[in-house]
Amino acid sequence: MKLREVKKIRKRSVEFLKKAKISTTTSEVEKVEIADFGLNDIKHIGLELIVYENNDRYCAKELILFPRQICPEHRHPPIDDRNIGKQETFRCRWGDVYLYVEGTAEKNPKALIPRKYRPYFTVWNEVVLHPGQQYTIAPNTLHWFQAGEKGAIVSEFSSTSIDEKDLFTDPNIKRTPVYE
């Protein structure tokens, strides 16, 4: 991503945080992580994040999703004998989130996926999260989510995040953002 675009998306992220009445510091705002997953199509597939804390025991982030933006399907695999993979709780703070996990597929899902990405979305057990609702994802299980029409803010509470270990269904994805 060009740094100019990164700055533009950071600015938009802050606007969404304001809509949700979530306070942040200037230094957090300047470091909002823009994850385009290497697909260069952040309108459809992308995620904006503020990492509040990530230590060797727990992690807390605020996830910002623009309208209909999708965090693509992935899982958090076991890391070593002491870490069975990241477990995470998504708590919807603002907007609506359509979360999909392993299990019985929803026949009429609320999510909308551009046709070209369809092969890389394989779990369709639907969990709708309105503000104040949350769901916990077991380690090493597939999941993905999309914001509703107005976008969404999601608090993520979890064990330690090691994002570079995430395994995505779409082989074209690169998790670590590259800012030029």
Interface residues with a copy of itself (CB under 8 A) are 20-25, 28, 52-53, 55, 57-60, 87, 89, 91-94, 130-134, 136, 155, 157-159
Rank residues 68 and 93 by Cβ distance to a copy of itself and give the closer one.
93
Min CB(21)–a copy of itself separation in Å: 4
Rank residues 27 and 104 by Cβ distance to a copy of itself and give the closer one.
27
CB atoms within 10 A of CB 10: 17
Min CB(57)–a copy of itself separation in Å: 4
Burial per residue of 42-56, b for 16 or more beta-carbon CB atoms within 10 angstroms, e otherwise? bebbbbbbbbeeeee
Rank residues 28 and 102 by Cβ distance to a copy of itself and give the closer one.
28
Strand partners, 61: 51, 156
Rank residues 74 and 91 by Cβ distance to a copy of itself and give the closer one.
91
Min CB(124)–a copy of itself separation in Å: 25
Min CB(157)–a copy of itself separation in Å: 4
Rank residues 25 and 104 by Cβ distance to a copy of itself and give the closer one.
25
Rank residues 125 and 133 by Cβ distance to a copy of itself and give the closer one.
133
Whole-number Å distance between alpha carbons of 89 and 174: 23
Q: In the chain, at which residue ranges do the beta strands (DSSP E only) sit?
A: 33-35, 47-54, 59-65, 70-75, 88-101, 125-129, 134-137, 143-158, 167-168
Helix (H, G, I), strand (E, B) or coil at 32: coil
Tell me which residue of 63, 61, 59 sits closest to 17, measured CA to CA. Answer: 63
Min CB(159)–a copy of itself separation in Å: 4
Strand partners, 129: 97
Min CB(108)–a copy of itself separation in Å: 25
